[in-house]
Structure 1
Amino acid sequence: MRTPLKLSAAAAATLLALTTLTACGGGSSGADAKDGSIKIMVGGLDKVIYLPARLTQQLGYFKDEGLDVTLLTEPAGVQATTSLVSGDVQGVVGFYDHTLDLQAKGKQVESVVQLAHAPGEVEVVSRKAAGDLTSPKDFKGKKLGVTGLGSSTDFLTKYLAVKNGVPTNSFTPVAVGAGQTFLSALQQGSIQGGMTTDPTVAQIVNKNLGKVLIDMRTPEGSRQALGGPYPSSSLYMNTDWVNSHKETVQKLTNALVRTLKWMSTHTPEQIAAKMPADYAQGGKQLYAQAIKDTLPMFTKDGVMPADGPATVERVLKSFNPNLKNATVDLKKTYTTEFAKKAH
């Protein structure tokens, strides 16, 4: 079921503001599961980095666990997080790094299934700007696309800048979403480069709109760019809700881990064939290639890599004023309890 959740601009701004308040009220357990019905917000349902969510539904694994899961979609992870904080949904499939950011703002959220141990993100540069944008050292003065301000693409872009001696206030992040909106911004020159994922990356390269500058779709690429494994795509939920709905969380985890194992034993073409036809906007062959390029980012067991959280903390603290001097209890940002039982 692909049901977009739309918020008015005013409502979205109000909800987003909640995430900036320390220890604010926001419904940590306001959204309750009834009769096995769960709402999960995904930071872009058709993005390959979040593919396990829709694939689990397509394979019928949620139903096998007796769950009725509705997958909703928002174009950026920061908007998905807003839906969780406001109590509209029980969980988010988005980047793990938001759990650290939220803890610093007084919200206790944890990853219960770690879908990926690399970002799956790619920094691309437009064909026109390729001559003077050859590395993050050239970010100064550029307009760089991100899915949304405060999103994980925004976080990672800022880290790459700081790591390469470029102040975060010397370039302009532009919220351009993903897919067609990102492609148009690149083509029209409103951005010179940007951070995006497959299948958008595959279409950029295929249409010769630009090229890959930094590839973080593999653990190796993550280590090279970020200095270690960077756990990204995950199912994260409010800790209070997890503790009071352990049976439901275990069922969700069982289904998602079963999908991760299925993915590890099937070809990109077989995976693509299970997905909705409209996800392959660049054609079936290109979509399968996008899945192939991104597959290395996924875990096979849903368990958080032991040294992953420390990498994420180091990356975020390098540029994020909310986290720079904050004490983050990493053990409270994730749990391996459910994934280990799922085996």
Structure 2
Amino acid sequence: MNKNIRRTLISLAVAGATMMALPGTASAAGKITIMVGGITKMVYLPAKLAEQLGYFKEEGLDVELQSQPAGVDAENELLAGAVQAVVGFYDHSIDLQSKGKEITAIVIFGQVPGEVELVSTKASASIKNMGDVKGKTLGVTGLGSSTNFLTQYLASRYNITSKEYSVLPVGADNTFIAAMKQGRIDAGMTTEPTVSQMLKTGEAKVLVDMRSVEGTVKALGGLYPASSLYVQRNWLNGHKDDATKLARAFVKTLRFIKTHSATEIADKMPKDYYGNNKPLYIQALENSLPMYSPDGKMPVGGPETVLSVLAGFNPNVKGKHIDLSKTYTNEFVNQVK
């Protein structure tokens, strides 16, 4: 669908969103549509894996997974009432609260972003760290996306403002790879399996690695809860039973990830996720395993780190009172035995 037409449809849907989101209002035929901000990204792997393992059906849920290449687009669909939930980065719930929107994360998938700032091998001679990005073009999934937030923050730690470099939305996977190959971006933020693909071909090098707790603390100063399942607060108030079932399905999925090898997990995924290079997919998944939460709970101190990062550069958040207790809840994951 043409992007402009899609945006128009989303805008029209906003008009009906209030009715759709009233507490107690059920989605059509009981279906729950979850929009994923790039369904093949490993940061969001629990969404597809839960479906593949049959955990939604075990809970009696009729779940449809849809995909948008950038989290900000998924967020817009949620606000328009077009979907009931989003698998995206937790930081959107803080950003949206600053704009008067109440979004709550009910399951945390990732203790850390799982994002990597890659620099093209061609540009690596002049870009040794984020302090070297003046005048350069940096790739993000979308404007207003979490990759955009994190890029701005990493540059700001070197006192470089967003006016001193260019940001280009290039999506993920193949579109990201093409942008770097063609020299349209000098560096960019992406996730697995794209990271492993580009490192294997020698077309890129790692600039900042946030796939592990250690790397994330070094880059951001603390744990940065990232991939999550979030919903509108008014939907949550009217659908606590559905929220409980979703939480149970995803916590079971996270436990499966923690108790199985990368190979065993890859065996559960659709073939088109790894194409003709399953070994590379397994290696990328192996690199990603440390980022997943073992229980779906918000890590202690995590929201404060995210708020600190966003307040460092985001004019919507800076200086505003943010009630972090409304941006997430452990109420539903705590019920999982």
Q: Same fold (TM over 0.5)?
A: yes
Q: Give the number of equivalent residue pairs.
A: 334
Report the AA paired with residue 229 of structure 1. L
Report the AA paired with residue 21 of structure 2. S
Q: What is the distance in 2 between the residues matched to 1:36 and 1:18?
A: 19
Offset from partner CA, 1:122-179 (integer Å, 9 cap, x none): 0000010000011000011110000000000000000000011111110111000011
Identity over the aligned pairs, expressed in percent?
A: 49
Offset from partner CA, 1:224-254 (integer Å, 9 cap, x none): 0000000000000001111111011000000
Asked if the contact 2:13/2:82 (under 8 Å) is kept, the reply is no
Change beyond 3 A, Cα 1:169–1:10: farther
Which residue of structure 2 lines up, in the alignment, with residue 3 of structure 1? none
Asked if the contact 1:55/1:275 (under 8 Å) is kept, the reply is yes
* 1:184 paired to 2:178: yes
Report the AA paired with residue 158 of structure 2. N
User: Pairwise mapping of residues 20-35 of structure 1 onto structure 2 (< 5 A)?
Assistant: 26-27=17-18, 29=21, 32-35=26-29
Q: What is the distance in 2 between the residues matched to 1:50 and 1:332?
A: 23
Per the alignment, in what secondary structure is the counterpart of residue 92 of structure 1? Answer: strand
How far does residue 33 in structure 1 lie from its aligned partner after superposition?
2.7
Which residue of structure 2 lines up, in the alignment, with residue 9 of structure 1? 4
Asked if the contact 1:40/1:91 (under 8 Å) is kept, the reply is yes
Match of 2:88 among 94, 98, 106: 94
Which residue of structure 2 lines up, in the alignment, with residue 288 of structure 1? 282
Asked if the contact 2:85/2:230 (under 8 Å) is kept, the reply is yes
Which residue of structure 2 lines up, in the alignment, with residue 238 of structure 1? 232
Which residue of structure 2 lines up, in the alignment, with residue 254 of structure 1? 248
Q: What is the distance in 2 between the residues matched to 1:191 and 1:8?
A: 22
How far does residue 338 in structure 1 lie from its aligned partner after superposition?
0.2
Q: What is the distance in 2 between the residues matched to 1:152 and 1:16?
A: 22
Report the AA paired with residue 268 of structure 1. A
Offset from partner CA, 1:66-109 (integer Å, 9 cap, x none): 00100000000000000000000000000000000111111000
Report the AA paired with residue 183 of structure 2. G
Asked if the contact 2:13/2:81 (under 8 Å) is kept, the reply is no
Which residue of structure 2 lines up, in the alignment, with residue 38 of structure 1? 32
Q: What is the distance in 2 between the residues matched to 1:103 and 1:202?
A: 35
Which residue of structure 1 lines up, in the alignment, with residue 291 of structure 2? 297
Which residue of structure 1 lines up, in the alignment, with residue 161 of structure 2? 167
Change beyond 3 A, Cα 1:7–1:115: farther
Runs of 4+ with >3 A deviation: 13-19, 24-28
Asked if the contact 1:116/1:298 (under 8 Å) is kept, the reply is yes
User: Pairwise mapping of residues 29-178 of structure 1 onto structure 2 (< 5 A)?
Assistant: 29=21, 32-178=26-172
Asked if the contact 1:18/1:85 (under 8 Å) is kept, the reply is no
Q: What is the distance in 2 between the residues matched to 1:177 and 1:13?
A: 21
Q: What is the distance in 1 between the residues matched to 2:54 and 2:12?
A: 37
Asked if the contact 2:93/2:105 (under 8 Å) is kept, the reply is yes
Offset from partner CA, 1:6-49 (integer Å, 9 cap, x none): 56324427848999xxxx99547167334541100000000000
Change beyond 3 A, Cα 1:339–1:92: same
Change beyond 3 A, Cα 1:17–1:77: farther
Per the alignment, in what secondary structure is the counterpart of residue 300 of structure 2? Answer: coil
Which residue of structure 1 lines up, in the alignment, with residue 330 of structure 2? 336
Q: What is the distance in 1 between the residues matched to 2:312 and 2:258?
A: 34
Q: What is the distance in 2 between the residues matched to 1:256 and 1:117?
A: 15
TM-score (norm 2): 0.95
* 1:217 paired to 2:211: yes
Q: What is the distance in 2 between the residues matched to 1:7 and 1:237?
A: 26
Q: What is the distance in 1 between the residues matched to 2:8 and 2:145?
A: 15
Q: What is the distance in 2 between the residues matched to 1:158 and 1:241?
A: 32
Per the alignment, in what secondary structure is the counterpart of residue 323 of structure 1? Answer: coil
Per the alignment, in what secondary structure is the counterpart of residue 152 of structure 2? Answer: helix
Offset from partner CA, 1:265-300 (integer Å, 9 cap, x none): 000011111111111146100001111111111101
Q: What is the distance in 1 between the residues matched to 2:299 and 2:153?
A: 21
RMSD between aligned alpha carbons?
1.9
Q: What is the distance in 2 between the residues matched to 1:246 and 1:102?
A: 22
